[in-house]
Each structure stands twice: as structure tokens, then as C-alpha cells.
Amino acid sequence: MSKLFIADEDAVRSGRTMDIYFERTKKILEEKGLGGSDVWAEFTGSALPAGWPWAIFCGLEEVVRLTEGLPIDLYAIPEGTIFKARSSNSVRIPLMNIHGHYTDFGIDETAILGMICQPSGITTVAARTKIAAKWKTLFAFGNRRMHPGIAGVIDRSAYIGGCDAVSSPFGAEIIGQKPLGTTPHALMLMMGGNEAAFKAFDEIIEPEVPRIMLIDTFSDERTGAMDACRAVKDLKGVRLDTPGSRRGNFKELIDEVRWELDMKGFKDVGITVSGGLNERTVAELADTCVTSFGVGTSIANAPTLDLSMDIVEKDGIPISKRGKFGGRKYAYRCPDCLSMDVSLSPNDDIKCSCGCHMEPIEQCVIKGGKRQLPERSATEIRDYVMKQLKQISELE
């Protein structure tokens, strides 16, 4: 049987997924006797996608799992931190710093960047969508649009950013939650109608699984909603995945379904909407009677953050490529307005423009190859994100 095009863990750890020039660079440095040079390398971004004023740092735990055991020190801002790309004087905010011999970690640059660039983008879009939804329930439905090899990364990142549940068992296991789904159109098509499909689901699927029925396969949404109410005793909700060619005024359609449910005595049945939703369209429906949103492609296919790793100090001497600022740097953040700044000192006294004193936000994550901080669960990181998002919303 042919293998799938998926890099296994051994391929990542052995460097076979890296850009080849890192392997060649390591070979040259070792043969020229420069393998023992002591360096500081920082991970920063010059700007954020789509004019975002902030982004969320995600993926650190996987980086720790990759680099733990290497003879390095790793410092980073906490995973889930809302950050800005640059300080007021244009210095890039260091999200992570690695200290050690370049030849001990340089070949991992490609993997490390991938582990934070894509997850940070997904987490940020999930958070922006959660705000757009005005904190209503948000489901991550995006795995079907992306390669299955990264399903766990997508689900974990989306959950940390604000999605309340994910659809794949693999992703749900990573975040310590149960997967959530409704019914696919395929079930109604194979069963020959709404009522037969809804009753079969209710009869066969475990009772702890929420009964949320997809109602737009064959019939008008109002009719489909009533079919679900009659067929399922403990119906939790109905889902509208109405195709664009049938939507017309989607808000009015949703309101019509809500009116019918209420009028027939089903006020506790919620309404979930899905189908091509993004931050903008979610915001347009946030003030309606919608109970929850199922968002897929726009979160899973979020813009990737353009982060880079750069050597900024070699053998105790600041150094950098053109366009970057040399020297080992420390990240500071204002606890009040979440503005950020950078200093060459870990004990600086930096006053924010809002009047508060900034605090160092960097933590020692790995020292001499050994993890220094306990692993935080995805839910703990998500709670940290939610707290910051509420703070941002209050400031705005």
C-alpha cells in the first residue's frame, strides 16, 4: 500500500522536513571549526497580516516538545499571549529566544517556524471571529478544507483562539474535550428524507451526544425545523447550512425559523448557522437570534504569520542582518493596555504611554535542555486568551 504524503514525527525530528540549506550550513560550520559558536537567536515578525493590530502567539508547546533535550536554553512569552509585532520605535517584539550553539538547533528552524506561524494565524482568526460573534458559541468546522495531517494543529489552535468545540476526534483528544458535530447532508440523502434520518440518529447515537439536526437538505428551513422537532425528543438545536443560491436575506430566514420554533412551543431549541461564514458575515448575524456559529475555512485557512528566526548575538557580541536590530532582547508588556516594548535589559523600568509601568513577559521555558515550566492544557491557554480578549474589548 502506498504511503500518504505526511511527514511522521521521526522525519520532523531528524530534520528531513527542513530547508536543505540549513543542513549544508551545519556541515560547513562544523568542518570549519565554528560549530561551537555561542549564539542568541530570536523569533519575531515585521508586520501582521491584513492590517491586524494584534495577534495571538500559539504553538509554543509543540516547539518545547521538539527542542526539549537539546543543549539549549529557550525563552518565550507565554503561549496564548496577545502581542503586537513592533514597539513604538519599530523594534520587533521577540516572541521566543534560543541560546546555544547554532549547530545544535539551526536545522530545526524550519520546523519551529512552522509550529508557531500557522497556529498563531489560526488562533488569531478564531479570536477575531469570537469577538465578531459577540461571544456566542463558536464551532470549528474547518478540517475538511485542509490536509488531514494537520487536523490536530488546526483544532488545537482554533480552540485556544475561542472556538468552543472542534469536530475531529483527533483534535478533540489533543485539547481534552469531546468532538462535536451535527448531521451531514449525506445522512438525509442516504436515508431518503429528514424524518427517517433524524429518527435514526436519535435511535442509534449515544444519548450524551447533543441532538443538533441539519434541516436544509430537501425542504424549506421552516419545514425542516418542524421535522426535527417532531422526530427528536430532546432536540438541542437545528442547523442552517443554506446554500448561497437559496439564502436571499439570510437574517430574515433565520428570524422566520425562530418565529416558527417559538410559536410551536420549541423556544429551547437553538439555531446554529454555518456555510462559508467568516469574521465579517458572523458579525452581521451576531445580533440575531442565532445561538451558535459553525465556522470552517476562514479559520482553518487563516493567514499565516510571517515570523522569522534571526541570529542577534554571537559569542557575546551583538550582530544582525540588515533590517534587523542586533542584541539579545527582552519583551515587556503593559498589564493595563497590553502595549509592548523591548529592552536590552531584563530589569528595565519602562513606562507605557498610558502611564502604567510595563512588566517583563518573557519566561524561561527550557534551561540546558530541561523543561522549566509545567505543560499548560489547551483549556488553560484558552482561558488566558479569553481574559485578554475581554480586556481588549473593554479598551475599545
Nearest by Cα to 56 from 141, 138, 117, 134: 117
What's the pLDDT at 10?
A: 93
- Segment 314-335, tens digit of pLDDT: 999 999 999 999 999 999 999 9
Residue 394 above 70 pLDDT? no
Report residue 274's pLDDT band, with 50, 70 and 90 as the boundaries: very high
What's the pLDDT at 396?
A: 58
Q: Pairing relation of β-strands 38-45 and 307-314? A: antiparallel
Three-state secondary-structure class, residue 158: helix
What rounded mean pLDDT belongs to the chain? 95
What mean pLDDT comes out for the span 218-245?
91
Percentage of the chain lying above the pLDDT 90 cut? 92
Which residues fall within 8 angstroms of residue 151, CB to CB, at 6 or more apart?
A: 143, 168, 170, 171
pTM above 0.85, yes or no: yes
Residue 347 above 80 pLDDT? yes
Grid coordinates belonging to 75 = 525563552
Angstrom distances, CA of residue 269 to CA of 204, 225, 232: 21, 10, 11
Q: Which domains does the chain have, with CATH numbers?
A: 9-120+304-395 (3.20.140.10), 125-300 (3.20.20.70)
Report residue 73's pLDDT band, with 50, 70 and 90 as the boundaries: very high
Pure H helices in 43-168: 60-67, 102-105, 109-132, 151-161
Q: What are phi and psi of 351, to 5 degrees?
A: -100, 130
Residue 212 above 70 pLDDT? yes
- Segment 90-129, tens digit of pLDDT: 999 999 999 999 999 999 999 999 999 999 999 999 999 9
What's the pLDDT at 91?
A: 95
Report residue 395's pLDDT band, with 50, 70 and 90 as the boundaries: low
What's the pLDDT at 174?
A: 97
What mean pLDDT comes out for the span 379-389?
97
Neighbours of 12 (CB within 10 A): 18
Residue 245 above 70 pLDDT? no
Angstrom distances, CA of residue 222 to CA of 48, 213, 215, 346: 43, 13, 8, 62
Instruction: Please report, as a single letter, which amino acid is at residue 207.
Output: P
What mean pLDDT comes out for the span 153-161?
98
Q: What separation, in Å, do the N-terminal and C-terminal C-alpha atoms of the chain show?
A: 56
Query: Which burial class, exposed, middle or buried, applies to 77 when counting CB atoms under 10 A from its CB (0-12, 13-18, 19+)?
Result: buried
What mean pLDDT comes out for the span 282-289?
96
Answer with the residue of higher pLDDT: 65 or 144: 65
Instruction: Please report, as a single letter, which amino acid is at residue 13.
Output: R
Report residue 247's pLDDT band, with 50, 70 and 90 as the boundaries: confident
What's the pLDDT at 243?
A: 74
What mean pLDDT comes out for the span 332-359?
95
